[in-house]
Amino acid sequence: MALGEPIPFYFDDVVRLRKPHPCGSFEWTVVRIGADIGLRCRGCQRRVLLPRRTLEKRLKAFVERGPDAPAEAPSATKS
């Protein structure tokens, strides 16, 4: 199984995940970048760390890209 390129995440990206947080929100803001991605729930402000691969699997769409994202970055869905 060949691994593709990792999906680029940027600070202040807003992502929609496949399952809701217990508070009911599907949307998260990226607050930390690295091997683990830090996310803040947009509903209750709870912070979590997810391994990059786990986040890539749970990602449904980018709601909004952060200010550091290049103009050609995908904005609607993951590839």
Q: Encode pLDDT of 3-61 as tens digits.
A: 678 889 999 999 999 999 999 999 999 999 988 999 999 999 999 999 999 999 999 99
Residue with tokens 């807003």: 14
pLDDT number for residue 69: 81
Higher pLDDT: 1 or 49? It is 49
Q: Is 60 exceeded by the pLDDT of residue 75?
A: no
pLDDT number for residue 1: 44
Distance of CA 50 to the CA centre of its chain: 10
Higher pLDDT: 6 or 79? It is 6
